[in-house]
Amino acid sequence: MRFFRRLSIFPTTHKAMNQEPPKEVPVVYTIRGCDACMKLLQKWDAEGVAYDERRVELSQSVLDEARKYGSLVPIVVWPDGRVQQGFGDTLGCFI
């Protein structure tokens, strides 16, 4: 005779109650083909950093939003309001 363990398809609520609220993540404005943008995202992916990528070439409204913070991508807007342009010793790409 075999016994099977029953698995619930519904998550338990006690875990959700004990979880920390989601943390804010940095917003990073990028453009396709930008070497500095790719390097930054590769580094963050390797380190497991969560981020919200916004590609400026895909939408005029996203481009206008990015230009409020600077004219050189990658532009990182940190949850505390700090803004950084470029990555490492690479300037980035003008938008």
Residue 5 in any domain: the answer is no
List all residues 6 or more positions away from 24 whose beta carbon is below 8 Å from its beta carbon.
Answer: 79
Residue 4 in any domain: the answer is no
Tell me the mean pLDDT in the region 1-5: 40
pLDDT of residue 46: 97
pLDDT of residue 22: 53
Residue 45 in any domain: the answer is yes
In the chain, how many domains are there? Answer: 1
- Domain, as residue range, for 43: 24-94
- CATH number at 36 reads 3.40.30.10
Confidence band of 49 (pLDDT split at 50, 70, 90): very high
Number of helices (H), then strands (E), in the chain:
3, 6
Map tokens 């070497």 to a residue: 35
Q: Is the pTM of this model over 0.85?
A: no
